[in-house]
Amino acid sequence: MKTAGAQALSTVRTAATRPRTARRPRVAEQFETAVQQRAAATLGMWVFIATETLFFGALFFAYAIARIQAPDDFAQASRHTNLVLGTANTAILLSSSLFMALSVRAAALGTRQAAVGFLVITAALGLSFTGVKLAEYALDYREHLVPLVDFAFDPRHARGALVFFGLYFATTGLHLVHLSIGIALVLGLAWRLLARRPGASAEHVAIAGLYWHFVDIVWIFLYPCLYLVSRA
Amino acid sequence: MRGDRVSAYVWTWLGLLALLAASCASSFVPLGRLNAFVNVGIALAKALLVALVFMHLRRDRPIVRLVAVAGLAWLALLFGLSLADFLTRGP
Amino acid sequence: MTEAVRAGDGGVLGERGELALHPPASYLEEGFTIRSWLTTRDHKRIAILYALSITLFFFIGGAAATLIRIELATPNGDLVSADTYNKLFTMHGVIMVWFFLIPSIPATLGNFLVPLMIGARDLAFPRLNLASWYIYVAGASFTVAAMILGGVDTGWTFYAPFSTLYSNTHVVWVLAGVFVVGFSSILTGLNFIVTIHTMRAPGLTWFRLPLFVWAQYATSAILVLATPVLAMTLVLVAVERLGGIGIFDPALGGDPLLFQHLFWFYSHPAVYIMVLPAMGVVSEIVACFARNPVFGYRTMAYAIIAIAMLGFLVWGHHMFVSGQSLYAGTVFSLLSFFVALPSAIKVFNWTATLWHGRITYEAPMLYALGFVGLFTIGGMTGLILAVLALDVHLTDTYFVVAHFHYIMVGGAVSAYLGGIHFWWPKITGRLYSDRWARFAAILLFFGFNATFFPQYLLGIAGMPRRYHEYAPEFQTLNVLSSGGAVLLALGYLLPLVYLSWSLVRGARAPANPWDATGLEWRTASPPPKRNFAAVPVVEGPPYAYRPSPAGIVRAREGTA
């Protein structure tokens, strides 16, 4: 039974885990406490991630059904993706997650410069990923693998290959859009932290971190679906 | 979060890279249909590492973990019940 | 508990928490410019922005329906061509589903009431809430553009391969419109989930929440889990239509049923998005006007959750004759029987709530009782359709049309109107003429049944849906239906008149004109911008109608 003065939020962390050295975020007027605000922001980002899981998930589902219906075509098509670049990109993105996590931790500890540094590295890795991906697109274009634009493939497998590459560009393109938003968010946070502007607290970095890691997880699943269908 | 140690993050990262190498390497081993399951399994393991360690799901509130699971569970519904159709069609 | 409690700003609270002295300005008086409305972060104002928008679209969709019913008064296709008729029912469906029903109760009543009902000052993310409305408007403008460009004829269901390969209308514009408006509803759902989890007043545990809040919560879960799948499906249709990559095209190795699985995975839960909030409204109204707590409160809450979850498992019942495997059909049929169970339990419990009640029949109660009856009929006919063998005969006939209109119109729209009437004094601070309101409610009930009951008979007799002409033996029932539609239209137009009238000439409403329980009635009508002078503390269960609602809530001293 709660007393009149207690918060009815038994599932929320108490002041014990609130960072002492980091700058306190401003509490928006609809919230009663900073703890409540942090709980809402975290839950909100996770709910958003759940929606994105289903958004990308529907695409993965279309891929799965198409692959079940044309397994050989998909196998052949997948062999034409660039395994070296794809694997390198996966490693780049996984590493970016490491630095993002380090940044979130640094921000929570109040070590502003470390947080900024890690954010910049995260963004740089994200930009590298983007660069590699665009280079890969250029190579795909040269090999006539872009649907609608001069697509040409072994006629025995062209039908399924067209579906494969349609899904390839749709999924990686959508992923790139999400990654770009993440890079912009991260750079924006780094700038505001560096310049000691409002809107950049440990809470903001943590929420951005959740988003970044989610984008990484999407790629974790895309990689085997696109690059590893049949290499044996 | 401030309570995490850097070493935990670094080990997780190394684990992720190892899984990446394993996934890539296993695709060169002809296992037929099993390749797909191995790949998805490794991807799941990687995703779990990122979610539990980097995204702090290890120590988050139950509701946050429920939401995280719900997204995947609903996706599983979409896959599962639809496959009940696609896999049971006649020749 | 009738002692007066001092509120933080020095005003004295009366028995039920209304401020007797120094009333703050209401949210309606916080700025009179259009700019103050278009840049508001107040959930109450955003609710009104939504209400105006969806009302506009309701009448546009209704205009399409009017033309349909006029056409169908005669067996020949003499009013419009077949192509135009296809465009009419498509736009009717698209607009009514996505631009009226899906947002209706959540974005208007939900937005207004959820923070009030949980004792919060606003939703968790007010700016996101406003963005939600602007996204709705953007999506709506794409769709209006499609209408101006000549309309779309694929049906609101956009089945491939017609939508992807053969339709010559501006499908992509409507796909874009619905895609965009989908994000509006996702964000609303996200806002509600976070708000209900993190911003409940002290003492307001989950099982003290009004059932309206439970309903909004479950609806929000569906919104965030189902809508993204629809969004992606529409993208795939657009990509297929513009790029021909072949995921849905059998000639290219694709599968049109892939579209249907993806589409109905969202669209079946979507109907629960439309009906669950309505059920929440009905619980609030029935309890108040029977002066009884809702019978079996916990069961009602569990039933809401069960409906939301089971609703995700039944989508294949829209595809029984589409070519899906018999095994899948059987599974989906069985699951569809299960989803009827929690709905039936709710009907029993509403009925039990009336038992030994001191029932009065104000307009909201008439709408709520209408819901219970019409939803029951619609639900039972849904069970009939869930039977595989019967569905083979009834699918794509007017039986289906009647079934879903009984739920959507007889059910959801009735509840929406009931909710508007119930909370009108709270939202606007005005009272409307209950005589006119009751007349409209009764007119609507009879008009609705006259319009849609004949359609059950038409369906059984074999009249197919989505055809602009029909065999002459169906004419009598069609004329009856079209005639009923006139009454129905009147029933919808009347509230526009007397509710608008109440805004200028209606008596000022007290804080709690219905003597209802619930935190929203503990503050002024209309509420001040920050909802409560002091954050309320809840100490008892909801629906404390027996013996009396007095004194359940008191304000925390000293805070404002």
Domain residue ranges in chain B: 1-59, 61-91
Q: Which of B58-67, C128-137, C365-374 has the lowest mean pLDDT?
A: B58-67
pLDDT of residue C21: 53
> B37 in contact with A at a CB cutoff of 8 Å?
no
Shortest distance, CA C79 to any CA of chain A (angstroms): 41
CATH number of the domain where residue C245 is located: 1.20.210.10
Choose the closest CB to A30 out of C120, C235, C262: C120
pLDDT of residue A14: 56
Do B86 and A65 count as a contact with CB atoms less than 8 A apart?
A: yes
Do C265 and B78 count as a contact with CB atoms less than 8 A apart?
A: yes
Amino acid (one-letter) located at C347: V
Do A64 and B40 count as a contact with CB atoms less than 8 A apart?
A: no
Q: Which of A25-29, C374-378, C449-453, C517-521 has the lowest mean pLDDT?
A: A25-29
Do A43 and B67 count as a contact with CB atoms less than 8 A apart?
A: yes
**Distance of alpha carbon C39 from alpha carbon C135, whole angstroms:** 14
Q: Residue C343 belongs to what domain range? A: 27-555
- In C104-170, where does DSSP find H-type helix? 111-118, 126-148
* Owner of token pair 């159709």: B85
Strand C536-538 versus strand C553-555 pairing type: antiparallel
Do B78 and A217 count as a contact with CB atoms less than 8 A apart?
A: no
Query: Which residues of B lie inside 8 Å of C (Cβ-Cβ)?
Result: 63, 70-71, 74, 77-78, 81-82, 84-86, 88-90
Contacts of A166 in chain C (CB under 8 A): 239, 243, 245-247
pLDDT of residue A4: 41
**Distance of alpha carbon C269 from alpha carbon C281, whole angstroms:** 19
Residue ranges for chain A with pLDDT beneath 50? 1-10, 19-22
Shortest distance, CA C243 to any CA of chain A (angstroms): 6
Contact between C85 and C465 (Cβ < 8 Å): no
Which residues neighbour A191 within 8 Å (Cβ) at sequence distance 6 or greater?
A197
> C248 in contact with B at a CB cutoff of 8 Å?
no
Cis peptide leading into residue C24 (ω within 30°): no
Contacts of B71 in chain C (CB under 8 A): 225
Contacts of A39 in chain C (CB under 8 A): 197-198
pLDDT of residue C534: 87
Do A51 and C224 count as a contact with CB atoms less than 8 A apart?
A: yes
Chains that touch B (3 or more CB pairs under 8 A): A, C
In this prediction, residue C22 has a pLDDT band, given cuts at 50, 70 and 90, of low
> C206 in contact with B at a CB cutoff of 8 Å?
no
In-domain check, residue C459: yes
Instruction: Kindly report the pTM of this predicted structure.
Output: 0.91
Q: Which of A205-214, B25-34, C289-298 has the lowest mean pLDDT?
A: B25-34
Res. C12: pLDDT tops 60: no
Contacts of B46 in chain A (CB under 8 A): 94, 217, 220
**Distance of alpha carbon A108 from alpha carbon A24, whole angstroms:** 10
Tell me how many domains chain C contains: 1
Q: Which of A16-30, B67-81, C123-137, C442-456 has the lowest mean pLDDT?
A: A16-30
pLDDT of residue C25: 82
**Distance of alpha carbon C533 from alpha carbon C531, whole angstroms:** 7
DSSP state of B2: T
Do A58 and C232 count as a contact with CB atoms less than 8 A apart?
A: yes
In-domain check, residue C12: no
DSSP state of A157: T
Domain A38-227 in CATH 3.10.20.30? The answer is no
Contacts of C261 in chain B (CB under 8 A): 78, 82, 85
Contacts of C124 in chain A (CB under 8 A): 30-31, 40, 44
> B55 in contact with A at a CB cutoff of 8 Å?
yes
Structure tokens at C276: 């669950």
Contact between A11 and A36 (Cβ < 8 Å): no
Do B61 and A206 count as a contact with CB atoms less than 8 A apart?
A: no
Chains that touch C (3 or more CB pairs under 8 A): A, B
- For the segment C97-124, the average pLDDT, to the nearest whole number, is 96
Choose the closest CB to C556 out of A4, A69, A70: A4
Residues 261-280 in C contacting B (C-alpha not used; CB under 8 Å): 261-262, 265
Model confidence pLDDT, tens digit, residues C543-552: 988 765 544 4
B2 versus C507: the higher-pLDDT residue is: C507
Question: How many CB atoms within 10 Å of residue C347?
Answer: 19
**DSSP of C287-337, one letter per residue?**
HHHHTSPPTTHHHHHHHHHHHHHHGGG-GGGG-TTTT--HHHHHHHHHHHH
pLDDT of residue B30: 87
Contacts of A231 in chain B (CB under 8 A): 27-28
Model confidence pLDDT, tens digit, residues C221-272: 999 999 999 999 999 999 899 887 888 988 887 899 999 999 999 999 999 9
Contacts of A64 in chain C (CB under 8 A): none
Shortest distance, CA A114 to any CA of chain C (angstroms): 30
**Distance of alpha carbon A204 from alpha carbon C103, whole angstroms:** 30
Contact between A217 and A56 (Cβ < 8 Å): no
Mean confidence (pLDDT) of chain C: 91
Contact between A177 and A218 (Cβ < 8 Å): no
In-domain check, residue C2: no
Distance linking the first and last C-alpha atoms of chain B: 54
Between CA A63 and CA B66, with CA A214 as vertex, the angle to 5 degrees is 95
Instruction: Break chain A into its structural domains and give their ranges.
Output: 38-227
Shortest distance, CA A90 to any CA of chain B (angstroms): 8
Residues 149-208 in C contacting A (C-alpha not used; CB under 8 Å): 186, 189-191, 193-195, 197-205
> C221 in contact with A at a CB cutoff of 8 Å?
no
Q: How many helices (H) and strands (E) does chain B have?
A: 3, 0
In this prediction, residue C9 has a pLDDT band, given cuts at 50, 70 and 90, of very low
pLDDT of residue A5: 41
Amino acid (one-letter) located at A90: T
pLDDT of residue C3: 34
